[in-house]
């Protein structure tokens, strides 16, 4: 998970003005974070989409 976060952070730092991702979704169960559209099921913990909470 931390690897994913690190990559997203690096991407954001490259071009903070035009960082294309606006919506973030965070799984409160496992901490899985996904940009733009949440998948139907969490790849990590298998929870359903409604469990996702939208982050800033
Ligand atoms: Fe999860």
Question: 6 CA to middle of ligand 1, Å?
Answer: 18
Given a cut of 80, whether residue 2 has pLDDT beyond it is no
Looking at residue 19, its pLDDT comes to: 65
Write out pLDDT tens, residues 4-27.
777 777 777 776 666 666 778 888
If 0-12 CB within 10 Å is exposed, 13-18 middle and 19+ buried, where does residue 35 land?
middle
Q: If you classify domain 21-56 with CATH, what class do you get?
A: mainly beta
- Whether 30 has a pLDDT exceeding 80, the answer reads yes
Provide the whole-model pTM. 0.52
Ligand 1 ion local residues (Cβ < 5 A): 27, 29-30, 32, 42, 44-45, 47
pLDDT tens, 32-56?
888 877 778 878 888 876 777 777 5
Count Cβ atoms within 10 A of the Cβ of residue 52 and give its class: 0-12 exposed, 13-18 middle, 19 or more buried.
buried
How far, in Å, is the centroid of ligand 1 from the Cα of 21? 20
Q: How far apart are CA 41 and CA 7, in angstroms?
A: 22
User: Ligand 1 centroid to 34 CA: how many Å?
Assistant: 10
- C-alpha torsion 41→16→18→14, nearest 10: -90
């Amino acid at each position: 998970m931390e690897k994913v976060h690190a990559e997203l952070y690096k991407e954001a730092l490259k071009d903070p003005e035009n960082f294309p991702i606006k919506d973030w979704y965070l799984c409160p169960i496992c901490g899985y974070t996904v940009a733009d559209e949440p998948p139907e099921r969490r790849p990590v913990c298998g929870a359903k989409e409604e469990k996702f909470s939208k982050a800033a």
